Structure 1
């Protein structure tokens, strides 16, 4: 890099930069051949205006990584330069995921340095950056706990809870350690109790943590405290872990054996769980770190297709079949129901039953189509697939409208269009309401206890 350009970047002198550009319009282009660029220098020194000018002239500098594995975003994040981070993210929000040495991203450096404000800006612009891992399998939470960065941990955990991404709290590094393992270990190293206590209190209040997760060494977070005692504060941490129903690794194995009624195996089997419905549900339920999301999606796709097929078939061919002739009763034969050929027999003989049938069948059909839409999002030929789903939905509604008497036409039309199509939104509302009621019930139970 030209010495004069280095001095201008270090001082944040925009006038000097403009003078250099007047003398040599290609001075910034020549800089691209060097190991450093002026944007790195300005980011390190915190010169926001100079950074804006460089980004205006050469935005490509924002994505360059030097020989040490640092980009301007790495440097700004490490130094806590919030305004510079914002300016760089205007160029490309994905810059906070730019990998340097050992796959370290700017978000990782912000976590290591405890830059809570920078973390907040990055999560707002690029939420996926919190899932990035280093070569050692560590995400931002692991790094913040390792370095005892309480404010950074608080910021990330709060964001995770707000976005309902609790699975991130239980991610493991290459050694199988969750953040609770690391928090326990750093407590032993006398880094402080703040992070440990905060993590544990969150786990007690929300149940978000898998407090009995076992790492590759075969120990839980409680084992770390008990196997490596350090000071009087350990007792308080053990009590918090105990209130969260934490166990030692050997006790979790014993508990599994007892629940499955098996004396020779350490893992439960379906055959040993038939007598206990709760254990059976526990055995088969989806677990984030055991089951593959792609396999779960495949299973849900199969179920959604089966439901869509069944509900569509019974919808276009209602129970009881169709009238083969037309009958318009006169004064002499007023006891017979009026009907026309092609109309549903059930719709004319049992109107209430038919209305209930149409309602529940339409809800099941529309929800299955919604599941197919969600599960195939971002797939190739997405637009064509959406046309297919919409066509099937319209076909279903059209057929039902054609096989009912005129007095049921309005009900069927509203059910197959407005009501059933709004069930996905209603389902989300009910799910949120159930989650809130469950939390209220859990909190009231804790107070009573």
Structure 2
């Protein structure tokens, strides 16, 4: 495949990639793969440029992991494209990284500690810098202890509009300013999130799956129990007690003439009702909290998990309060307060703990070529 690319036999290259996509990852001299070669190559005319860009796109789609391959100088295909001023190839790579949620690769460093933004600044490529703002760590430093902004400011021909945008972005990113090295971070005490993971033994994905499965089963069972409580429901309304009350379940066709009640309320009452509501709700919210806490550790953007468990929790509370007997308003208010506190704790507590953990990780200015060794990303 390397030889076919050098001789510009692109049809042969496509045929080889179709037969075995892993050939795209084969390293040649200097660790160069076919993806690196295409990313750094510029065509002689418009037709050749379009053909190379199409080949680059086909390589990316055929072999997703090829973007993670490094040369002997720790360069990804994105590094190669920027160093060769191949803006069109960078646009293809950048668009693919955003669509596949792999933009963390933009922060990977080469053997000089330069990420993509550092290279774009040193090569004075304002178009690429504009695209990278918001997708890379503006405060990252290379091995010369320079940020991209400092590199750009040292260049007398730098675009001043881009310099101003980088300054604004740096002000916004000061919250996550790298303040510790990797060795300093590993010397620190475990974060609460890490202690939680160690205590429950959820370091690997198989354990995550078991916990999610069990928690989902518990949430399903407790939610169904709230919809079908022990004893069933009253099928009619009654405002006055009779001398001979009749207990009616949801499956009974008899007429209820017992204690005051409303149709659709639970027949269960007294301390048994409160005990059932508290125990069932505790199990439900605990399982919801476990699903949420496990979900945010598996995904970078767990919004849908958060949205789903929130809606489910509100549906549970609403259904239970509708079915709850209305004659004891004080108990209903206390239970509603209990539900509210439980909901806030299971939704906000994991979020806050995880946010603090990620905030600490983002303060680490790693000198390695990759940025996912701390567990920030999966896969």
- Work out whether residues 82 and 117 of structure 1, in 8 Å CA contact, stay in contact via their aligned partners in 2: no
Name which of 139, 150, 156 aligns with 2:93: 156
Deviation at 1:139, TM superposition (A): 0.5
**In structure 2, what is the Cα distance between the partners aligned to 1:314 and 1:118?**
49
After TM superposition, give the deviation of residue 106 of structure 1 in Å.
0.8
Structure 1 residues 138 and 371: CA distance shift in structure 2, 3 A: same
Which one has a larger percent helix, Structure 1 or Structure 2? 1
Aligned 1:407-446 pairs, distance under 5 A: none
Does the 8 Å CA contact 1:133/1:139 hold for their aligned counterparts?
Answer: yes
Asked whether the equivalents of residues 140 and 147 of structure 2 are also in contact (C-alpha less than 8 Å), the reply is yes
User: Whole-Å Cα distance in 2 between the matches of residues 367 and 254 of structure 1?
Assistant: 28
Question: What is the TM-score with the length of structure 1 in the denominator?
Answer: 0.43
Indicate the residue corresponding to 2:63 in structure 1.
126
Partner of 1:336: 247
Deviation at 1:246, TM superposition (A): 6.7
2:131 corresponds to: 202
- Matched ranges for 1:368-387 at <5 A: none
Q: 2:139 aligns with which of 212, 234, 253?
A: 212
Q: Does 1:113 align with 2:37?
A: no
The answer to whether the 8 A contact 1:181-1:221 is kept is yes
Partner of 2:31: 103
* Other structure's SS at 1:298 match: coil
**Given the alignment of the two structures, is residue 177 of structure 1 paired with residue 114 of structure 2, yes or no?**
yes
CA 1:105–1:238 in structure 2 vs 1: closer, same or farther (change >3 Å)?
same
SS in structure 1 at match of 2:203: helix
Task: Give the aligned CA root-mean-square deviation in angstroms.
Answer: 5.2
| Larger CA Rg, structure 1 vs 2 | 1
Partner residue of 1:387? Answer: none
| 1:297 Cα deviation after fit | 7.2
Q: Alpha-carbon deviations, 1:188-240, whole Å to 9, x = none?
A: xxxxxxxx222221233xx211122112221111121233x2x4334343223
1:241 aligns with 2:166: yes
The match for 2:268 is: 349
Aligned residue-pair number: 247
In the aligned structure 2, how far is the partner of 1:167 from the partner of 1:254?
15
Cα distance between partner residues in 2 of 1:108 and 1:161: 19
Go from structure 1 to structure 2 and tell me whether the alpha carbon gap of 1:314 and 1:336 turns closer, same or farther (over 3 Å shift).
Answer: farther
Q: Does the residue aligned with 1:181 lie in a helix, a strand or coil?
A: helix
Q: CA separation of 1:109/1:270 partners in 2, compared to 1, >3 Å: closer, same or farther? A: closer
Q: Any residues of structure 2 matched to 1:61-76 within 5 Å, and which? A: 73-76=1-4
TM-score for the superposition, normalised by structure 2: 0.50
Q: Which runs of 5+ in 1 are unaligned?
A: 1-72, 188-195, 261-265, 272-282, 287-295, 325-330, 341-345, 376-449
- Partners of 2:137 and 2:37 lie apart in 1 by 26
Q: Deviations over 1:284-311 (max 9, x none)?
A: 899xxxxxxxxx9727776765565566
More RCO (CA 8 Å, sep 6+): 2
Cα distance in 2 between the residues matched to 1:285 and 1:243: 32
The answer on whether the counterparts of 2:215 and 2:291 sit within 8 Å (CA) in structure 1 is no
